[in-house]
A = this chain, B = another copy of it.
Amino acid sequence: MIKVVILGGGNIAYHLTTNLLKNKTTNVVQVYNRSIEKIQYLDNKTSITDKLTELKNADIYIIAISDDAISSVSSKLNFKNKLVIHTSGSVALDELKSTSNKGVFYLVQSFSKKQKIDLSQVPICIEASTEKDLELLAVLAKSISKTYYTINSKQRKSLHVAAVFVNNFVNHLYYIGNEICEENKIPFKILQPLIQETANKIATLSPFEAQTGPAKRNDTKTIKKHLAMLPQKQQEIYTLLTKSIIKTHGKKL
């Protein structure tokens, strides 16, 4: 069994802890959080603490806290022959300031405590400073998920930016769609099957092949009609994305 200590009480820490407590490959010996209240629910399942000086002995220390705090917390974890890892998409391996061995364990998903997530379906990106540690992280990753990838810090940062586009920005376009529906007293749920299908499509088609709509067809008549219907903020976004689609598909405005 791999002995792990988990540091953090946020969304990722919550989902990881829940999974690793049930996982037959791991033994969660302790969970740390600076505010003990947030991890009180774990009291009867494992040891909990709010003191970094009282961390137990483990093989891997998983830092699942906010990006800004990773350097400072990791600088206090100086154990010989132990592996200290973080779970952030945008923080480089060498931002870990521990003198222990270092690694990254990035779960490519957006987590909220309310939403149940099947971690076996979540790809995990691993990175480590030694081959041996990479193998250990691969064992851990395989015990959680069906897919894992070895990528370096630069790739991971790019992946994180790509995730901002396909997750945060996509959700904002859903928000605008919702706004337009509300203004016109149309139930937003009419669009749910279309939203679902748009996401499903790219499992089999590339986004380039899957592109449809007035911008793709360079249908200036429809584009003008749409722009005339929109308030300025939405117009700007409509115009920029339309131009970008037209450019991508090789036609000029």
Residues in A lying within 8 Å of B, measured CB to CB? 67-68, 90, 108-110, 112, 114-115, 117, 121-123, 125, 147, 149, 151, 154-155, 157-178, 180-181, 183-187, 189-208, 210-216, 221-222, 225-226, 229-230, 233, 236-238, 240-241, 244-245, 247-248
Contact = CB atoms under 8 A, between A and B. Distances in A.
B149 A211 contact: no
A108 B191 CA distance: 7
A161 B190 contact: no
Contacts of A68: 221
Given A194-B109, A198-B110, A212-B168, A90 B237 contact: no
B168 A184 contact: no
A159 B186 CA distance: 7
B184 A170 contact: no
Given A178-B206, A212-B112, A191 B172 contact: no
Number of copies: 2
A225 B67 CA distance: 13
B207 A178 contact: yes
A161 B226 contact: yes
Given A154-B184, A169-B245, 11 more contacts: A90-B225, A110-B212, A158-B181, A161-B226, A166-B173, A168-B245, A169-B238, A170-B173, A175-B211, A195-B199, A196-B199
Given A177-B162, A194-B163, A216 B108 contact: no
A172 B169 CA distance: 11
